[in-house]
Structure 1
Amino acid sequence: MRQPQIAEQLHISQPRVSRLLKRAVDLGIVRTTVNAPRGVYAELEEKVEQAYGLTEVIVADTDDNADESQVMRALGSAGAVYLETTLMGGERIGVSSWSSTILATVEAMHPRPTPVASQVVQMLGGVGNVTAQTQATRITGRLAALTGAQAVYLQAPGLLASGDMRQMFVSDPNIEPVLRACDDLTMALVGIGSIEPSPLLRESGNAFAESELPALREAGAVGDVCIRFFDESGRHIESDLDDRVLGITAERLRAIPRRVAVAGGTRKTTAIRAALLGGWVDVLITDLQVARRLADEHTDQP
């Protein structure tokens, strides 16, 4: 019963009902309990948050035998709900161009009744092979449309043939303002890649060649965010290959106030863990199996 109903039935004032209820709580006579519904993992989320110093963790409900497409759909739905409930207005959002999980998130979102962002900026060059480029463009364009923001495209490849070629693009008057916009982002929305490129990145033509991967492995690389590679401790790996990436720098990325990763699948657990340890993200949206592994691996540390 509500307090006014209790007051009316007992013929006492509502303030007295409030005082009596507070006293009953203090004495342990009245207790509030919450029964978590299936698919809610608040304790696990808190455990991962505390273990890795994260602001927030959202665990998408997935079965142990879920395949990659099912995990992708669950992550996309969880990511969409997170954005719909946390974007409050005026955000300047940076997005990674070649992330399948970010594409799934944007596809699952619903339009907001009022603008909740001012800009959506491609943080990594979004030009590539035609089919894949359509997906990269859709991530930025659809997210901008859904949030009432201006779409800012980085109309160049994300990976260039040489560092000298990158310098030519950086000085281009059409490219330089977009890179400068990355200096003023309030939020980043990214995927986390393993050392093996995702199908979308590989199809785009913006992945390192197979012959170049051994050098990254030798340097200790286990994963990347926006093609900025890091080792198992999350330390950024600087190399000549890094000089060929056209997009936000590792330092600038990690300085963005809110950095949200939508990433999952057990094959990416090592990369996700490293990204958390290195401070690449501070909000993680992942699946149940990965969250459990992250919590268990931290518990097993000496």
Structure 2
Amino acid sequence: MVYDAQVSKSLKMEEQVQYVYAAIQHLKVGRSTVEIAEELGVSRFMVGRMVKYAREHGLVEVTSRLQEPIDATLSKVLASRYGLQSAIVCIPAAHGDEAARVSIATVASKLLTELIDEDDIVGLGPGRTIIETCSRIKDAPNCDLVQLTGVASTDYDNLRVIMELGRVTKGHMYPLHSPFIATDPMAAQMIKSQPGVRQALQRMDHLDKAVFTVGGWPHSSLLATLLDEMGELTPLLEQGVTAEIGTTLLDERGSELHLLDSRMIGITTQQLSTVPVKMALGGGPGKERALIAALNSGLVDVLVTDAGTAHAALAASK
């Protein structure tokens, strides 16, 4: 807020002091407008106008002291618009997917640590943002960790990070040693029948928290990249796939598309929908459409995203 020099012409010095005093007492000290009105000998409505005038003309300034660059107002508006338990909107240091991912992971690591309760069962999805989030957690309550999907590439960073985080949380770990998607339904059933895989899949019925990234199709999703390598991506895009959450495929309206259900290995939509707290991470230009689809799906309770994506989501909801 920039100080308005014209204020000195419209308000006498004594009036300016009184307006600033009223604003500080209400905004900083926390006194009610009724209490301030009694002290100053004016109506509470007058106090309200004084506070508003002081803020709008730069006589006082409300400054956020949050440790991370977060837009608190945009966060509340986004949560309200989509009926979320909460939303945290980060302000990345630069434009682009990489800057957004770093900003989101930094905030998400702190938020997740606060959300986890002692003895929780926490599910972790795949993705680079999840990897960066988990790698930043150095202390957390004791809890069990469950890998929510198989791996979508030969890069086992997700599994490695879960193992490392497990040493921090000191609970049981349920890794999913399987591919994200099998070549056919029969192969998927064979993999799911393996003892270790079956145990992890069954544990997903009892999750307290689930944390996942939103895969943005076609260029910001490990699953989409894998399907492209398999020569299967184009027909799926033609059928409207915009995003994935876990093993759930979504179109741009957030409706589920049952196109690969019999081949996917991981948490089902039914299992995910019953988790008390579902935390979604995602942002950057490559994930805007996907994140909007995820918000419309009803499968998100807590969201961490960037300001650009938040604005896009608000514009799409009008």
Give your verdict on TM over 0.5: yes
Aligned match for 1:105, one of 133, 136, 148: 133
Aligned match for 2:116, one of 87, 98, 104: 87
CA distance in structure 2 between the partners assigned to 1:202 and 1:138 by the alignment: 22
Aligned match for 1:269, one of 280, 288, 303: 288
Aligned match for 1:143, one of 136, 154, 165: 165
Which residue in the other structure is 2:64 paired with?
A: 36
Which residue in the other structure is 1:192 paired with?
A: 214
Worse-superposed segment, 51-60 or 26-35: 26-35
Which residue in the other structure is 1:125 paired with?
A: 150
CA 1:24–1:75: 2 relative to 1, 3 Å: closer
Q: If the length of structure 1 is used for normalisation, what is the TM-score?
A: 0.80
Instruction: In structure 1, list runs of 5 or more residues that go unmatched.
Output: 1-20
**1:250-288 Cα deviation digits (max 9, x unpaired):** 111122110101111122111001101101211110111
2:257 is paired with a residue whose SS is coil
Residue 198 of structure 1 deviates from its aligned partner by 4.0
CA distance in structure 2 between the partners assigned to 1:23 and 1:162 by the alignment: 66
Residue 84 of structure 1 deviates from its aligned partner by 2.2
Is 2:97–2:285's contact at 8 Å kept on the other side of the alignment?
Answer: no
Residue 52 of structure 1 deviates from its aligned partner by 0.8
Which residue in the other structure is 2:315 paired with?
A: 296
Instruction: In structure 2, list runs of 5 or more residues that go unmatched.
Output: 1-28, 40-46, 52-60
Residue 56 of structure 1 deviates from its aligned partner by 0.6
Is 2:104–2:305's contact at 8 Å kept on the other side of the alignment?
Answer: yes
- Indicate yes or no: 2:80 matched with 1:58: no
Residue 27 of structure 1 deviates from its aligned partner by 2.9
State the one-letter code of the partner of 2:215. G
Aligned match for 1:220, one of 209, 228, 240: 240
Which residue in the other structure is 1:70 paired with?
A: 99
Taking CA–CA contacts closer than 8 Å with sequence separation of 6 or more, which of the two structures ends up with the larger relative contact order? Answer: 1
- Structure number with bigger Rg: 2
Which residue in the other structure is 1:164 paired with?
A: 186
2:88 is paired with a residue whose SS is strand
Which residue in the other structure is 2:258 paired with?
A: 238
CA distance in structure 2 between the partners assigned to 1:157 and 1:148 by the alignment: 26
Is 2:218–2:224's contact at 8 Å kept on the other side of the alignment?
Answer: no
Which residue in the other structure is 1:4 paired with?
A: none
State the one-letter code of the partner of 1:253. L
2:160 is paired with a residue whose SS is helix
2:315 is paired with a residue whose SS is helix
Residue 158 of structure 1 deviates from its aligned partner by 1.4
